[in-house]
Structure formats: structure tokens, C-alpha cells
Amino acid sequence: MIRDALIEALRDALVVLGVDPIPELINIEQPARREHGDWSSNVALATAKKAGRNPRELAQQLAEHLTANPPAHVRQVDIAGPGFVNFHLDPSWLHAVLAIVVAEGTAGYARPDLNAGSTGRVNVEFVSANPTGPLHPGHGRNACYGDSLARLLTRCGFDVSREYYLNDRGVQMDKFAQSLLARKKGEDVPEDGYRGQYIIDWSAEMPADADPGEWGEARAIADHRAVLGAMGIEFDAWFSERSLVDSGAIDATLADLRASGHVYDDGGAVWLRTTDFGDDKDRVLVKSTGEFTYVLPDIAYHRDKFGRGFDRLIDVWGADHHGYVARMKAALQILGHDPDEFHVALTQFVTLLRDGVEVKISKRTGDLVELRDLIDEVGADAARLTFLLQSADTQQGFDLAKVAAQGMENPVFYVQMAHARLHAIGRKAAEVGVARQPIDAVDLSLLVHEREIEILRTLAELPDVVALACRERAPHKIATWVRDLAGTVHGFHHDCYVISDQTPPPLTQARLWLVDAAIVGLAIGLDLLGVSAPDAL
């Protein structure tokens, strides 16, 4: 691609000029302002001091050398500001991008291989809600983030397994079972039991002879699976905490931890000295009553995941769990794992609004708006795009009324409309009997309208955007890019008629390939977000 070619040319030029070419300092980027060229490098600024050179002079010499030895597509190289080297390219570089997008298609374009060397097996654990009730909107954000991250990792060459951890034993499950049983008998739930309306509904479904714990768990899992499925999210593994007890993995984990020498007994409890590895206090593994805390099964679970051959574990947790990161990293280190192979992505809270007014929890009944209700109200596509349009690092206000609106408050229409319009052009071409010519036979150099160039420039960015979004675990960067591309498509649609009396046939042919390429871009982006790309709305 052009980026590599320009970086190589810069490196060669530095060598010729007698400057040590430090790879990390040879940067190239697309400047914000067009008069600064199509691509720009700050390498002269970055290396001048170390090389004992004047930055502007070095830039001038680089520009002269590159002008004398221009890389492909480069029309002019000049310098500006304190010492930027600016490349002005012939539009042919974008026509080359178009040919690549068409040739590689949805499956092959923008598929950077970020998996260097290892087996690339990555486990992404997300949602992992307790099987004691329905999913809530906050789970929706976690689910969309985790799924989209998994899609990004897959596209970037990793072998990804999506996993859901079920806390299907312990006091929460007991309370849940007792609450179901009480409602079944027509009694009030216990003092600290679950009070939601769903307990009443579910207990009515429950057969009289069912084991409430087992039945309730199955009922909750079925609910989670159905709601997530409605958003197009499926898991490769549903991992049961109880299975860790049954398999002896918890005892084995405790034995491993003891063998490490970082375990001690105090006050009748068994402690793990996580403070040796950066935690702010030691953690209890086994209470003085002899019961496990939740910490021990969690450690056993992550030990199990590493034991299954994953190079890397990514957990997606709600922001309220951030305090657990240090203890889990410490525990995994004690077990001999590299803490950098375990990463926790935190998603900040979602506040549900309706027309700007917060939708409050009912304290009396314990009822919230369920994720299921949210999807029913706004639709799966709008829900996913809205969750993913914003960085997971910021709190999100999710306004049901705005997201459900069939208007411009809702970006999903803007994006899907762009995709549908492109397909409408294809349908129109077929309808009026335009015979498509193979791309090799088409003169792509006719694509020089600013609207056409915009689309191509945006498409050219996609491989970098995908790689960056994956590295930074930031699927929202894909959402932003998709919206940008949709904007360029609408502009093109408005100003550049593909099928028209005023459009010469060769231009129609070139524009039809541009349309195909834009479809590829939107399809890749929407797929990474898990948002559908309908041909018509």
C-alpha cells in the first residue's frame, strides 16, 4: 500500500542524507488540511535533534531527494511549517485503492494480520451476568462491545472464542431459588431475595416438581441466550462455575496457590498475598466458615482458560468491577502466568433516558427496564450502533425515544440508507440495461470529482482504522468511520449521478465500480459492528 511505499522512500532518503533512519520515528499520516498534501511526514522534526540537523533544512533535503526520486503516484513533494515533508499524490493512488477494494472484497479488504507469531488463540469473556434474572441495558453495552471486539480480533487474524461465565453456585443462586420457590407457594420472597416481577412470572411457569435452582438457572440462561440472539450475539462456550467444583479444579487451584508460597492462614481463613503483586490488600480465598469466597472460583476459572491453550484472555467487565483487576492479575501472576496476557476492558455505565428524562429503577419491586424491552423498543440494529458509537470509557446516556425515532437523531438510518442507496443504483443500472464491464476494461482515472475522491480517501483509511480499533480494543472507531463513509456516500449520491443522460457511459462504468467499493466498505464496517446492511429499507 501507499503508506509502506512512502515510508520506505523516506527511509532510503534519510540513508542517502546520512541520517540514521529510526523506524519508530518515520511516521506518515493524512493531514487534516488538503493543502498540506495527501500524506505528510514529521520525520524531519522528529529526527533533526538527534541527528544534529536543522529540521527545516533536513526536510528541504528530503523533499529534494524525493522529488528527484519520486515513489509511485507521487506528483510533488514540498515542505511546510517547521519542517513537514508533504506528499502531493496523483489521484491514481486512490484508483489503485479502488482496484484493491474490489479485488479483495468484503472478505479480504482491510484484514490486517496483527497476530505475529503466536497461535493467536484469544478468549473474550463478556456479559457473564448472574443467571438469576433477565439482562439489563448495561449488559447490552457489554455484549455489543465484547462481540464487536471479538469480530475485530477475528478480522485481524486471531482465533477467537466467545465465552460466557455462569456464576451458577453460591449465595446469589440460593437466594434466587428461594425467591422462586416462595413465589411458587404464593409467599413473599425472603428479606434479601429477588423482588422483580419476573420472579412472579417465572415461578408461574415453573413445574411444581422442578428443582427451583436448576430450573431457574435454565430459565435465566434461556432468557439471556434469546435476548443476545436477538442482537446477533452468540457464544462458543457457556462455562459453569459449578463445573469447577465438580471437576476438582477449585481444590487444584488452591493447591497450586499454596505451592507458590503466597498463601497464608489467618483468623481461620485462607488468604492470598496479592499485595506482593500490586493489589492494595490481601484477599480471602476460603472463609473461616470453610466456604469459598467468589475470588477462588474466579481464579480457578481463569486458570482453566489459560489451561485450555489461549495466548490471551480478554474480560469485559462493568466499571463497578474495576477494583477486581489488580487481584486477578496478581493471582494469575502467582500461578505463573504473564499478567500482560490477561486484559480487562471496562465498560462505563449506561443511563437509560426517555426524552431526556432518566428512567429510574423501581426500588419497591426491583424492576428495571430489561434489555429485551430496549431492543423491542428501538430495534437490534439501532441498539447496537448506539452502544458502539461511543467509547466504552465514557458514561452513556441511552435515550430510548431518540434512538427509536425514525429520523436523524438515529444514525442507524443514515448509515443503512447510504448502503441501500448504493444498491438502488445497482438496481437502476440493471433496470436500464447497463452492461457492466470488467474493472480492468474501465477507465478509473475518470473518478476525479471531489465526492468520488472523498469516498476513495475514506476507503483507503479502513485498513488502518481496523488495525487501530483492534489494537486499542475500541470498536467505536469503526462506528465513527462507518458514519464518515456514509456521509461521503450521501454527498456522492447527491452530486454524482451514475445513471443519467448527462453521465457519459465510461464514467457510468467507473462510478459503478466506485459504488461496489463503497458497498464493500460499508459492509465490512457494519459487519464489525454487528449491524445489518440491508439492500433496501
Partner RNA sequence: GCCCUCGUAGCUCAGGGGAUAGAGCGUCGGCCUCCGGAGCCGAAUGCGGGCGUUCGAAUCGCCCCGAGGGCACCA
Residues 419-458 that bind RNA (CB under 7 A): 420-421, 424-425, 427-428
Report the 10 Å Cβ neighbour count for 68.
Answer: 9
Binding RNA by CB under 7 A: which of 299, 383, 456, 465? 465
Binders of RNA in range 318-377 (CB under 7 A): 319-324, 346, 348-349
Binders of RNA in range 153-212 (CB under 7 A): 167, 170-172
For residue 265, how far is the Cα from the chain centroid?
42
- Measured from the CB atom, the residue of 49 and 308 that comes closer to RNA is 49
Question: Is 103 near RNA (CB under 7 A)?
Answer: no
Binding RNA by CB under 7 A: which of 136, 456, 477, 529? 477
Question: Is 4 near RNA (CB under 7 A)?
Answer: no
Binding RNA by CB under 7 A: which of 100, 230, 252, 499? 499
For residue 234, which amino acid is it? E
How does 114-146 read in b/e, with b if 16+ C-beta sit within 10 Å?
A: ebeeeebebbbbbbbbbbbbbbbbbbbbbbbbb
Binding RNA by CB under 7 A: which of 258, 464, 527, 532? 464
CB of 445 to RNA, least distance (A): 20
Piece of 106-114, 304-312, 362-370, 477-485 that binds RNA (CB under 7 A): 477-485
Report the 10 Å Cβ neighbour count for 60.
Answer: 16
Binding RNA by CB under 7 A: which of 68, 340, 364, 406? 406
Fill in the per-residue mask, 215 to 254: x = in contact with RNA (CB under 7 A), - = not in contact.
----------------------------------------
| CB within 8 Å of 302: residues ≥ 6 apart | 313, 328, 331, 332, 342
Total of residues contacting RNA (CB under 7 A): 92
For residue 445, which amino acid is it? S
Rounded (to 5) percent helix, strand, coil in the chain: 55, 15, 30
- Measured from the CB atom, the residue of 236 and 294 that comes closer to RNA is 294
Q: Which residues pair with 40 in a beta bridge?
A: 29, 86
Q: In what order do the strands lie in the sheet with 396-399?
A: 357-358, 350-354, 396-399
Question: Is 497 near RNA (CB under 7 A)?
Answer: yes
Question: Is 408 near RNA (CB under 7 A)?
Answer: yes
Angle between helices 249-260 and 295-307 (to 10 degrees): 90
CB of 186 to RNA, least distance (A): 28
Helices (H) and strands (E) in the chain, counts: 19, 14
Binders of RNA in range 36-95 (CB under 7 A): 36-37, 40, 42, 45-46, 49, 55, 80-82, 84, 86
- Measuring CA to CA, which residue among 346, 296, 340 is closest to residue 323? 346
Binding RNA by CB under 7 A: which of 205, 251, 358, 409? 409
CB of 13 to RNA, least distance (A): 17
Binding RNA by CB under 7 A: which of 468, 523, 527, 532? 468
Binders of RNA in range 286-315 (CB under 7 A): 287-289, 291, 293-294
Q: In what order do the strands lie in the sheet with 159-166?
A: 237-240, 159-166, 121-125, 312-318, 342-347
For residue 392, how far is the Cα from the chain centroid?
9
- Measured from the CB atom, the residue of 311 and 453 that comes closer to RNA is 453
Binders of RNA in range 134-153 (CB under 7 A): none
